[in-house]
Amino acid sequence: MDQDEILLDAEERMEKAVEHFRSALTGIRTGRASAGLVDSVRVDYYGTPTPLKQIANISVPEPQQIMIRPFDTSSLDNIAKAIQASDLGLAPNNDGRVIRLNIPPLSGERRKQLVSRIRELAEEARVSIRNIRRDANKHADQAQKNKEMTEDERDQTKDKIQDLTRRFEGQVNSQAETREKEILDE
């Protein structure tokens, strides 16, 4: 692998790690209803764990309510069970056609739990980014051993990899801070 390939691979993988973190953040609820809250819920649909958004329309008719309208009403009970089994802490109201989720205001204790969960997710994302850095540095060392690049090129590559690492860790940190403020300020 040459310098450009190593850097491109590392950057793409780091972007994916940040995107994964961003999608995990959408599943953490604030005091407002958001369709993203139930994105991670998987429903046992004919024996297959299926993402909720693939088997139902999810809408937010009011600021404190999520409405789930399944394409197949026979799956209502399975959707309700999946929501109860998830760590959302929401009670589904099933009226036979749709499921309504009322979003209660967050207590101070629950806010602290959510902030600590955000910090855990952020740390997981940073660890993932550092593992990608380690792999990229190994590729650079291997390329230098294989005489595909000089020592100076290897060192330049490692410096650029470190710059990428700082940039993507900064993105994770800023997103985590923003989300923490949203939760604590509501």
Tens of pLDDT, residues 8-37: 999 999 999 999 999 888 777 666 777 778
User: Which pTM value belongs to this model?
Assistant: 0.72
The span from the CA of 40 to the CA of 104, in Å, is: 19
Per-residue pLDDT at 31? 66
Domains of the chain: 3-26+107-185 (1.10.132.20), 35-102 (3.30.1360.40)
Is residue 121 left, alpha or beta, with left meaning phi > 0 and alpha meaning psi from -120 to 50?
alpha
**Average pLDDT estimate for 154-166:** 95
Q: What is the overall mean pLDDT for the chain?
A: 89
**For 108-136, how does the pLDDT look when each residue is reduced to its tens digit (9 = 90+)?**
887 888 899 899 999 999 999 999 999 99
What's the pLDDT at 177? 94
Tell me: pLDDT of 39 over 80.
no
- Stated as kind and residue range, the H or E segment containing 34 is none
Distance between CA atoms of residues 95 and 6, nearest Å:
55
Report, as an integer, the average pLDDT of 71-77.
89
Name 181's Cβ contacts closer than 8 Å, sequence gap at least 6: none
The per-residue pLDDT for 11 is 95
pLDDT for the residue 41: 86
Who contacts 78 (Cβ-Cβ below 8 Å, separation ≥6)? 43, 44, 45
